[in-house]
Amino acid sequence: MKYLIISDIHGNLEAFRAVLAHAARKRRDAVLFLGDAVGYGAAPNQVIERLRQMGSSVVAVRGNHDRVVLDPGEGAVFFNPHARRAALWSAEVLTPANRRYLDSLEAGPRKVEKDLLICHGSPTDEDEYLFSEMEAQAAFAKVEESVTFFGHSHVPCMFERGVVDEQESLVGMLLRGSRLVIDLDPSRRYLINPGSVGQPRDRDPRAAYGMYDSDARRFTLYRVPYNVEAARRRIIAAGLPTVLADRLLHGA
């Protein structure tokens, strides 16, 4: 099976459009969405509508922002002030149909096929970040599948676990570049973050997405330039904090 993998769109319609246009001619059987359609960005309705148009080809898990926007009074207390403001604003502008869509998203983890899992944060907690090898070690212990795609940190990266000379080895690496092809070793296990469509945080402002061919065990990461200025202006015009607009320029 061939999958388009998208995560952390965060109400950024310009970035989402650019990713879909870039991926349009690549063959795919399904779309894996790792959560956070909304939050931060100023086009939550348009982003959800685009996801809804993609219909049943999308296999999704909800993100923490998708959950919090449905009940920001309760959930946003743990957010920083900018994220909280964006969550409250998103909750106000969401149409009833788009709220229902967010409400219908399943909490992860979700098994996609025999050896493939998706989740938002970590396999056991949609709010947990996987940054370090120690965190990855704990996550590997919780999953049986050899390939797990996760989001939430907005940083394209990969943790690879294998056995060398009867010793377990685990290594984490950042994934950089415009197009990066990785052939996964069948004897090893992987946790892979395809980066964020709408709010990259690895100092590369381009939108990120992945393609995965589960038969060939080949993962490809793409970075796509998009109209950052238009996304930025939309955030400012909505009256959201300028810092949410400016961080898009820096991929931060």
Residues binding Fe ion (CB under 5 A): 8, 36
Least separation in angstroms between CB 112 and Fe ion: 20
- 């939050």: which residue's tokens? 39
For residues 155 and 182, which CB has a smaller minimum distance to Fe ion in the complex?
A: 155
Cβ distance to Fe ion smaller for residue 34 or 184: 34
Strand order in the sheet with 58-60: 58-60, 30-33, 2-6, 207-213, 218-224, 179-183
Q: How many CB atoms lie within 10 A of CB 242?
A: 11
191-214 in b/e form (b: 16+ CB < 10 A) is bbbbbbbbbbbbebbbbbbbbbbb
Q: How far is the CB of 216 from Fe ion (least distance, A)?
A: 29
Nearest approach, Cβ of 159 to Fe ion (angstroms)? 19
Task: Give the residue with the Cβ less far from Fe ion, 66 or 160.
Answer: 66
Q: Least distance (Å) from Fe ion to the CB of residue 30?
A: 21
Nearer to Fe ion, 184 or 191 (CB): 191
Q: How far is the CB of 217 from Fe ion (least distance, A)?
A: 27
Q: Which residue has the tokens 């998009």?
A: 226
169 phi, psi to nearest 5 deg: -130, 145
User: Which three-class secondary structure state does DSSP give residue 177?
Assistant: coil
Classify strands 167-174 and 179-183 as parallel, antiparallel or unpaired.
unpaired
Choose between 8 and 202: whose C-beta lies nearer to Fe ion: 8
Give me the residue whose beta carbon is nearest to Fe ion: 36
Is the CB of 67 or the CB of 232 nearer to Fe ion? 67
Residue 166 token pair = 């009867």
Cα 57-194-113 angle, rounded to 5 deg: 45
| In the complex, least distance from residue 10 CB atom to Fe ion, rounded to whole angstroms | 6
